[in-house]
Amino acid sequence: MITRGSQRGKMLKPTAQGRVGHFMLAGIALLTLTLLLSVIIPLIVQGAPWLNLAFVFRRPQELGSGGVGPEIVNTVVMVGITQFISLPLALLNAIYRVEYDHGSQFARWFDPGLQILLSLPTMIIGLIVVDVAIAHWHWPVSVGSGIVALSIINWPFSIALMVQVLRQIPDSWREASWALGASRWQTIIRLILPVAGADIIEQTGVAVARLMGETAALIYTAGLNVGKKFSLTAPGETLAVHLWYVRTEGLTAHADQEAAATGLVLLILVLMVLWGSQKMAQWMKA
């Protein structure tokens, strides 16, 4: 008969290699946290005194002074419309790739092509939009041109996220649904998408947060200033572009502080999006 004492005696004890690995991982985590705080803490210290309601709602002024009210609107609207355009297309592409296409010629080209699109610098995509839409089609440097650039940037990234989410669902669930007489499309609508819904929302938050920080492509497509009123055909400087402009081109005495305050506003928006998407995903899973 095995007693409790003998069971305790047979418990595995951590080896020297295990302890070393544990301390190495803890050290890496501590180093990562230290590097993150070394960026965030100076940003808060420098930008918090400038962060107030007037700064949030006021219009920017020449030479990098003023507020970021229009930039907040441009960022939210551009990213929102971009997700409205690219997310459904990405989800349809992911459904076709995971649920329908298995080993075809298209599948052999799809994955390498997706990796190529993901590896393209966003500035290249922005220059392509400039060459095609602005130079040849005579579109203005505007919010609309920026949305086109962001949609092209976000489309392959969202496809990769959606493919990853759909592949997490066990194939045995699909086979059980087919065995009960459901068609492939019925399985997708009534099983796959409801099960994957929470993860889709969470990954959408990641994509939105990524788009909010996009700068290079929007400098050439959406512009470095804002219109007198919001319009899809008016210039649409975003928070990230405004941060870059104030930090590099601002000539006011407090340009660094204004840039830090702009970074804080952007950081708060990103955290709100990530927190909201996670809470919504948890609510759907409950």
**pLDDT value, residue 108:** 78
Mean pLDDT over residues 113-135, rounded?
91
**pLDDT value, residue 134:** 93
What does the DSSP 8-state code read for residue 225? Answer: S
pLDDT tens string 38-50: 989 988 999 999 8
Q: Tell me the pLDDT band of 280, cut-offs 50, 70 and 90.
A: very high
- 246: Cβ–Cβ under 8 A, 6 or more apart, which residues? 64, 255, 258, 259, 262
Rounded to 5 degrees, φ, ψ at 224 are: -115, 15
**pLDDT value, residue 115:** 87
Mean pLDDT over residues 180-185, rounded?
92
Mean pLDDT over residues 184-195, rounded?
93
Tell me, rounded to whole angstroms, the distance of Cα 102 from its chain centroid.
28
- 195: Cβ–Cβ under 8 A, 6 or more apart, which residues? 169, 173
Ranking 19-33, 62-76, 227-241 by mean pLDDT, the lowest is: 62-76
What domains, with CATH codes, occur in the chain?
51-285 (1.10.3720.10)
**pLDDT value, residue 12:** 59
Partners of 226 in the β-ladder: 236
Mean residue pLDDT across the chain: 88
149, pLDDT greater than 80: yes
